[in-house]
Amino acid sequence: MANENQIVGDTFKVGYRFQRYWDTSMAAAFFCCELGAGLFLLSQYFDFALGMLVGLLFAGVGKPYFHLAHMGVPSRAWRAMLRPDRSWISRGLIGIMFFVGAGVAYLLEFQFGFLTGIFGEATGGFFYQVALVISFAAGVLVMAYQGFAMAHSSSFALWNTGLMPISSIAYAVTAGLASILVLGWGALAPETSKMLVNFTLVMLLVDLCVVMSLLHGAFHGTTGGRQSVDLLLKGVYATPFIGLVIAVGIALPALVLWLAGSSYAAVLLAAVSILAGFFTYRVLVFKAALYEPIISFKPRTANI
């Protein structure tokens, strides 16, 4: 029964316990949010309306849907905004509202001249600028806040690192790139697409570095962190992690884009595998997080 590395489930043994409050639907919410913000911001930059629309749908519909699905008492969801002074969840929620609100306004003006149509050229133009700034700023926040929320948890070495928000942004951008490449194929200028392919290649490298640094940090952080890394690299989650997150999510698209970045089929394949890898990553960082054994007095007293 004495097992140093015991994961103890719901038993009354001292040992490591799985994080089990943030589940797959929470992962889906994170995924939608980050993908949506990344796609929107890139589309905004490249004046690509369809991308903006899809990005807003992910962040404004997908994310709330999955988040509510996860929430214990969804009818009280609005209460989540009450403590922006201290809670990243509140900040993020407010950020999303601003992001979606400003993003929609921006898109409507961009596509239909909506703001100038109502407010006239000058005022409408001003609002357009405001919407641009707010949607951009809120978009960045939305990309990053979940990373901040996780980094804030001192429970899990895997999460409790400044790399968490960076990984959120990195993945958000990568996912955004993958999506805009697919959605914008043909619509965007070929050289833009080419540039985006290269950018994606760079981001995949960044993602790989960030993920590896995360694991490295966790491994050397706490014993629980080491166990989490073991779970991802050697344990029950090794197959999805190495297979989906690293091979399918990073290596495969990098190879495909590098060798055949000019073919739509290749880009489509790369994008699908990037998103699959990203989603798996989101799920696995939840699943592999372990609470440390609450206490151990073994070394102190021989006879208790």
Partner 1 sequence: MTNPSPTANSIKSGRWVRSTCKMCLHSCSNMIHVTDDGIINKIEGDPTNPSNNGKLCPKGNSAILRHYDPRRFKEPLKRTNPEKGPGIDPKWEPISWDEAFEITAREIKKSLDEDPRKILPSLEDFQKMHIWFWPLAIGCHNFYQSGGTMCGGAYHPMNGYIHSAFGCANDAKYCNYWINNGTGDGFSSHLHAAAQSNWVAKARIDRGMRVVSVEPRLSIGSAKADEWVPIRPATDRHFALGMSHVLVNEGLCDFDFLRKDSNAPYLVGPDGYFVRDTEKQIYVWDSKDNCAKLWNDPTLENDNLALEGNYTVNGVECRPAFQVYKDILAECSPEEMEKITTVPAETTRRIAREFSEAAKIGQTIKIEDGRTVPLRPAAYNYYRGAQGRKLGAQTNQAFKLVNMLIGNIDTPGGHMGVTIDDGQVDNNHVEMGECGQMLGTPHQLGHMPEFAYPTNEYHLASHFPNGVNAPHLNLLVHENREYWGVEFTPDVIVNCHSNPVWSIQGPREKWVKFLKDMRFIVCVDVVPNEMTDFADVILPSSDVLETWNCTMIEPPHTEGQCFRQPATDPIYNTKSEEEIFYELSERLGCLEAYNSVINMILGFEQKPELQLDLDKKYTDREIARRKGLLWNGKDIDWYMEHGHSVTERRLDKWYRPWEGMRLNFYIEDMLKERDGLKAKMEAMKTPYINDWPFDDFQPLPTARLDTLHTLPEEYNLYAITFKDIQLNFGESLSNPWIRDIVFRDPVHTGLLINTATAAKMGFEAGDVVKVESPYGHLYGRLQTTEGMHPDAIGVSNALSRTKSENTYVAMSGGHFNDMLPYDMENTDAASGQPETTTKVKLTKLDDWPDFLKQGGSIYDFVDELETKKGKGGQH
Partner 2 sequence: MKRGMVFDLRRCIGCNACVVACKQENSLPDGVFFTKTLSEEYGVYPAANRVYIPTLCNHCEDAPCEKVCPSGATYTRDDGIVMVDDALCIGCGTCAVACPYDQRSQMDADNLKDGMYGGGNLTEFEKDGYGRWTPGTVTKCDFCSQRVDVGLEPACVVTCPTDARIFGDLDDPNSAPNKLIRERGGQPALAEKNTKPKVYYVD
Rule CB under 8 A: which residues touch partner 1? Answer: 1-2, 8-13, 18-25, 70, 286-287, 303-304
d(CA 61, CA 47) in angstroms, rounded, equals 22
| Least distance between partner 2 and beta carbon 91 (Å) | 9
Select 71 or 187, whichever has its Cβ closest to partner 2.
71
| Least distance between partner 2 and beta carbon 95 (Å) | 12
d(CA 18, CA 10) in angstroms, rounded, equals 9
Binding of partner 2 by 7 (CB under 8 A) = no
Q: Which of residues 110-149 bind partner 2 (CB under 8 A)?
A: 149
- Contact window for partner 2 (CB under 8 A) among 38-46, 128-136, 152-160, 168-176: 152-160
Binding of partner 2 by 81 (CB under 8 A) = yes
Rounded to 5 degrees, φ, ψ at 16 are: -85, 140
Select 7 or 140, whichever has its Cβ closest to partner 1.
7
Site string for partner 2, 234-273 (x = CB under 8 A): ----------------------------------------
Q: Which uninterrupted H or E stretch holds 17?
A: strand 17-18
Q: Which of residues 20-59 bind partner 2 (CB under 8 A)?
A: 21-22, 26
d(CA 62, CA 73) in angstroms, rounded, equals 18
d(CA 64, CA 59) in angstroms, rounded, equals 8
Tokens of 113: 């001249």
Burial of 280 (0-12, 13-18, 19+ CB in 10 A): buried
